[in-house]
Structure 1
Amino acid sequence: MPWPLRQFDAAIVDLDGTLVDTLGDFVEALQRMLHDLPPPFSDFSVTPALVERMVGKGSENLIKSLLGHVDAAQSAINSVALYERAWARYQVHYQAINGAYSAVYPGALQGLQQWQAAGLRLVCVTNKPTAFARTLLQHKGLDGFFLHVVGGDAVARKKPDPMPLLHACSLLGTQPARTLMVGDSSNDAQAARAAGCPVLLVSYGYNHGEPIRSVDADAYTDALDTLRWAN
């Protein structure tokens, strides 16, 4: 069933897991980070499957989740000092490899082109730090589609809180009910529901290991360029 295009003035689009498959970037940066820490962290091998379950709620949560997974008792080192060291090294390593181990999903570029041509105003909202998000979009040739980029450090709270989406609507001057949220996880859906935005979820991203169609959403798609719109 085609969606009525006239229903929307704008779209908020998630980044990791929606536009770009960044799992390889996360794995590489986290592995390099662990190598800079004392045992048992330096001896741990990061896997894509593990990171996929942890990613989605911001870099801080990702790092804390991984450290806790490696050493649940935090017995190797003071937890605060450990986190601060890990965060500093992660920032260095992620900046160095940002985009190098990632790829734009099939249909993502074409989907953005279609939405832009249809007159939708686009903003990227991600839990990734804003500077990292801007760099990734630029490296992948996607930066020209977005009027704004709202990263996880742009407002006080991250998705699944609705604050980033409401901030994006304010920047665009649009009403949430006429602003489509496009994402890949329950974080995006929960934020959209709380903000009053309709929500579309892709089937191929990162949803903490849970089936995406178990998440409350208005629609689902296997590729962003296959959406059917009715004027």
Structure 2
Amino acid sequence: MARYRLESGSTPLHHQVYLDLSTALDEGEWRPGDRLPPERELARRYGCSLIPVRRALDELTREGRLERTRGRGTFVLHPRLEVEIGHSGSFADLMRMHGMDPDTRLITSRIEPSGEVVAAALALPPGTHTIYLERLRIADGEPLFLEQVYLPADRFTGLLDHDLERNSLYDLLAEQYGAVVVRAREAIEPVLLRAHEAHLLDQPSGRPALLVEGVAFGPESEPIEFTRSYIRGDRARLSFEGSILRPPRPGTGETDTP
């Protein structure tokens, strides 16, 4: 017997199934990591054919709420974290805002010569020594972000002697070296995780992720830090909010309001 009776009318059957499944997920009928019942069982639940069920599941998969794997079934995913581009708070602040327990694990810390990309980003001659840090950002015991950070070694002598797991890097740069980050320029692109990054993020190699490359600048527009951050595509999404400026109206010098 159907748990939820679909109604004939203007609302398509697959959308009714979608709405009820969304409500069930919101109310915790299935938790992250749970496997949903097979499609035929869901069809009996709604008293419909397989087609509306499959279309509803496809829509929830596109929203990132479900993952469908051939031969294994359909699984509930964790809600994606909303990460605002240009967020001025620390990773720990962001995770606590989402009610999660943050942690940082230092994977690598060393001095190495800069390649062309890093040198250009930091306005250094190629081959100049840089500090390289690789830090894994963890929330509730699950790896979410992998940061690969490059800093001019001459400017930050002794940085590697500090605790880079429990201390904020930006706080250390400001308090110990007088290097205050005031702005950043960032670029975002989708990538497929290579074996190294996938292993640290506990993901299969080739899994989609977001790569954020950025340069942080001081008050005199001097580059302080170049960073590559790999963000799990199944656990976070990026958002941006900005002002819309329209060109002045001819002859007035005034802009239209949006």
Asked if TM exceeds 0.5, the reply is no
The interval holding the TM-score normalised by the smaller chain is under 0.3
TM-score normalised to the size of structure 1?
0.27
**More RCO (CA 8 Å, sep 6+):** 1
Q: Which has the higher strand share?
A: 2
